[in-house]
Structure 1
Amino acid sequence: MFFLAIRQLISRPQQTFLTFFGILLGTAGYVVFSGMMLGFQEYITDQLVNNDAQIRISPRDEVLKEESFDGVFFPDSFVHWIKPPSGKTDSTQLTNVKGWFLKLDLDERVEAYAPQLNRQLIFKFGKQTLPAKLYGIDPVRQMKVTTIGNYVEEGNLKDLDRGGDVIFAGAGLIERLGAEAGDIIQVVSTNGKISNVKVEGVIRIGNRMIDESSVYASIRTVQRLTQANGIISEIVVRLKDVSMAADVATEWSFLTRDKVQSWDQAYESILSVFKTQNIVRNTTTFTIILVVAFGIYNVLNMVVNHKKKEIAILRSLGFDENDTIRLFIIQGLLLGLLGALLGLLVGAVACYWLDGYPIGGKSTKGPMMTNVMKISWDYGIYIQAFCLSVITSGIAAYIPARSASKLSPVEIIRGSA
């Protein structure tokens, strides 16, 4: 049976090769296309999960309505509003920081947490003046929650705790100010107070928007610069299992008036783009495989038409309908199996060549992290590509196989007489 299947495929080498080549390209295309798109998604997800908080606890901005004042006035009193309340509360600090610390210490799902005090300030050096966000952090705790320590280009982030008014500035901000590590720059707070701080180090995340608008200092330094003694504006949390972030954030939000948001809730719009990308990827792949399936069908259908006499002889020698079906399905699976295996190899080589391929410009100092191609090496891509090619080949071979199995030896001989 196996020998007959190979012999019939070899008898039409051009059609067989084109079909085999189509399967190869379809499989390789699936691997490369999926590797590129999933690699990009993995990179962005890693940036969102590890470079930022998995759960962020911050003050809630509440839109004022009549219901917001329920319970404020005397019980059972009727309040008539001449002008309904409007606007929103603008809180800049957490109301129960010690309570949150106690809860997070006792929650076994929490791996680490870190307090922050964030303020929008003005930074001046020489004639240059730029706005930026000053993050007051506990460097030791912060490096347990996020991967900020991996992006320190100059200095040691733990030096923020040595005392003195020192900062670690984003690389883009320093370049735009024209300063460098060791320089003294001025900080202007919201009340007009001007303070001098020393640039102790430089941080380069690789995201231009972040690098040009972020400055890091110790919490005590930010509290002193902004006259906000004892104030904490946010708590960032890292869980032992990141997949539980949304459920944990929802659970905590019922226990407080503060805003508790997980990373996937905060970046829901980005994740929806990923879903759209997956739909496009699967649709494109399905189209490619469908074209390949038609190629297999056409080749085997021509084999059936040109090999009717051989089929009649085989049926006369004792081949039944099932044997005939198996003969053509073996041909389809052979094409699918060999094409899929070689397609996986070609796809892997192409992915290896594309991984790290430069796709953007270079920064003035050091490489940017987002200007190279990111490829996913998830083994699931290769399993899916192989199964999809082989299964499609088998299904495409079954239709002409059924047609061949219904041929009657007597009618074939009469038709050729």
Structure 2
Amino acid sequence: MERTMLSFTPDVHLYNDISTDYSHSIAGDYFKGQPVSVGVAHPKPRQIKLNLKNAAGIIARLRQDPLISEISPMVSTLVFYNYGPVQINGNISGVNILDESRMFDLKEKMVSGMPEDLLTADKGILMGSGLAQKLNVQLGDLVSLAAPNGMLMRFRVVGIFRIGMSAIDNVRSYVSLASGQQLLGKDKSYITDISIKLHDHSKAAWVAKAMNKQFGYKADDWETANASVKTSNLVRDTLTYVVSVTLLIVAGFGIYNIMNMTINNKMKDIAILKAQGFAGQDIMQIFLSQAIFIGLLGALSGMGLGFMLAYALSSVPFPPNEYVALKYFPVAFEPAHYFFGLLFGSLTPLVAGLMPSLKAAKIDPVMILRG
């Protein structure tokens, strides 16, 4: 789920946040400093422009930032989709489709058509699969879009994409940046949002704070925009770690019991070794090395078996689902997971075999041989 979310969420989203301040009024400013009490009933918000001022300058600065890999400026607005008697509300993004495709790998998410078709078509539109299904449209069909300002334009469907998230597939469409500006009746400098991808998405939080201070616009990082998903992932990961640690502890007790039984069965052998001159430290090393060997053998065998099962699962087709764009079961082959598995698989038997080894080292050979 997180991988799907990251595949279609910008690391940083820069936009003009809507904030209305009712603490000031024209009447209050006029009578300011005079002994007059001014009260305004039902004040109306002032006209607010949604675009980014000097968007071209901001984009030029962002392209020089070594932390940024991709930038996609856009014009975003709410619209009504009209197809015959069907009318559905949603949103549309006017973009440079090549920038958007590189950022979110749209080619891999296309059900029909290609993102580049938006460049060659006159008033073309790329539509989400859920939205296309609701409108019952296919490639080549004409769809009317009504903007909040009353502008009405017709677009031809040149592609249908599926992200795998119903919140996007059911409402979003793409048109060219020029068409989006024309739909809103704006000039070519009108930009409402800038989507940003970083080389390292883990730095998104502090990069967003720096952009907020530098440009004075709202900058949301991907973790803030998907806080609920991050919370659910945190709960899931915590449960996974608890179960894993519990299994390691159980395995450690198993090794502890095996070593105890081995030492109890080898009491006379240990006594003979000590009578021949073996020191307690030598006896401890013998049984401790046995515990480490058992742990390493188990860790390597478990890693190999786990990798084979995970690889086999990654080849299993995912059940068809209109809301999930997955061909196979998603499996993460992270080297760090195997490294920590080997590390804990080695430490657990070391700790579990230490106490029985100390017990073997303290055995009095005289008492054992006397019976």
> Do they fold alike, i.e. is TM over 0.5?
yes
Task: Tell me the residue number matched to 2:251.
Answer: 292
Shift of 1:162: 3.7
Q: Which moved more, 1:401-410 or 1:368-377?
A: 368-377
Contact conserved, 2:162 with 2:325, CA < 8 A, in 1?
Answer: no
Shift of 1:241: 4.0
State the TM-score, normalized to the length of structure 1.
Answer: 0.78
Task: Tell me the residue number matched to 1:326.
Answer: 285
Letter in 2 for 1:285: S
Once residues 297 and 360 of structure 2 are traced to their aligned partners in structure 1, the CA distance between those partners, rounded to angstroms, is 24
Larger relative helix fraction: 1
Letter in 2 for 1:306: N
Letter in 2 for 1:295: G
Once residues 349 and 116 of structure 1 are traced to their aligned partners in structure 2, the CA distance between those partners, rounded to angstroms, is 44
Once residues 307 and 65 of structure 2 are traced to their aligned partners in structure 1, the CA distance between those partners, rounded to angstroms, is 44
Letter in 2 for 1:304: I
Structure 1 residues 77 and 100: alpha-carbon distance in aligned structure 2, compared to 1, 3 A threshold: farther
Q: Is 2:351 the partner of 1:413?
A: no
Contact conserved, 2:142 with 2:155, CA < 8 A, in 1?
Answer: yes
Once residues 163 and 174 of structure 1 are traced to their aligned partners in structure 2, the CA distance between those partners, rounded to angstroms, is 18
Mark the runs of 5 or more structure 1 residues left unpaired by the alignment: 1-39
Task: Tell me the residue number matched to 2:260.
Answer: 301
Q: Is 2:59 the partner of 1:101?
A: yes
Task: Tell me the residue number matched to 1:346.
Answer: 305
Q: Is 2:212 the partner of 1:246?
A: no
Contact conserved, 1:59 with 1:234, CA < 8 A, in 2?
Answer: yes
Shift of 1:223: 2.2
Structure 1 residues 286 and 112: alpha-carbon distance in aligned structure 2, compared to 1, 3 A threshold: closer
Contact conserved, 1:65 with 1:84, CA < 8 A, in 2?
Answer: no
Task: Tell me the residue number matched to 1:263.
Answer: 222
Q: Relative contact order (alpha carbons < 8 A, sep ≥ 6): 1 or 2 greater?
A: 1
Task: Tell me the residue number matched to 1:227.
Answer: 185
Once residues 37 and 344 of structure 2 are traced to their aligned partners in structure 1, the CA distance between those partners, rounded to angstroms, is 68
Q: Is 2:293 the partner of 1:337?
A: no
Choose which of 272, 276, 283 in structure 1 pairs with 2:242: 283
Choose which of 61, 81, 100 in structure 1 pairs with 2:18: 61
Shift of 1:371: 6.6
* CA root-mean-square deviation: 2.9
Structure 1 residues 247 and 404: alpha-carbon distance in aligned structure 2, compared to 1, 3 A threshold: same
For 1:92, what is the secondary structure of its paired residue? coil
Mark the runs of 5 or more structure 2 residues left unpaired by the alignment: none
Contact conserved, 2:111 with 2:162, CA < 8 A, in 1?
Answer: yes
Q: Which moved more, 1:261-270 or 1:169-178?
A: 261-270
For 1:216, what is the secondary structure of its paired residue? strand
Contact conserved, 1:94 with 1:232, CA < 8 A, in 2?
Answer: yes
Once residues 182 and 337 of structure 2 are traced to their aligned partners in structure 1, the CA distance between those partners, rounded to angstroms, is 53
Shift of 1:186: 1.9
Choose which of 354, 359, 364 in structure 2 pairs with 1:403: 359
Structure 1 residues 81 and 261: alpha-carbon distance in aligned structure 2, compared to 1, 3 A threshold: farther
Once residues 280 and 183 of structure 2 are traced to their aligned partners in structure 1, the CA distance between those partners, rounded to angstroms, is 87
Shift of 1:146: 3.0
- What is the count of residue pairs matched by the alignment? 366
**1:13-412, aligned counterparts within 5 Å?**
41=2, 43-44=3-4, 47-48=5-6, 50-62=7-19, 64=21, 66=23, 73=29, 77=33, 82=39, 91-162=49-120, 164-230=122-188, 231-363=190-322, 368-370=324-326, 372-412=328-368
Letter in 2 for 1:224: Q
Shift of 1:410: 1.8
Identity %: 24
For 2:101, what is the secondary structure of its paired residue? helix
Letter in 2 for 1:406: K
Letter in 1 for 2:356: P
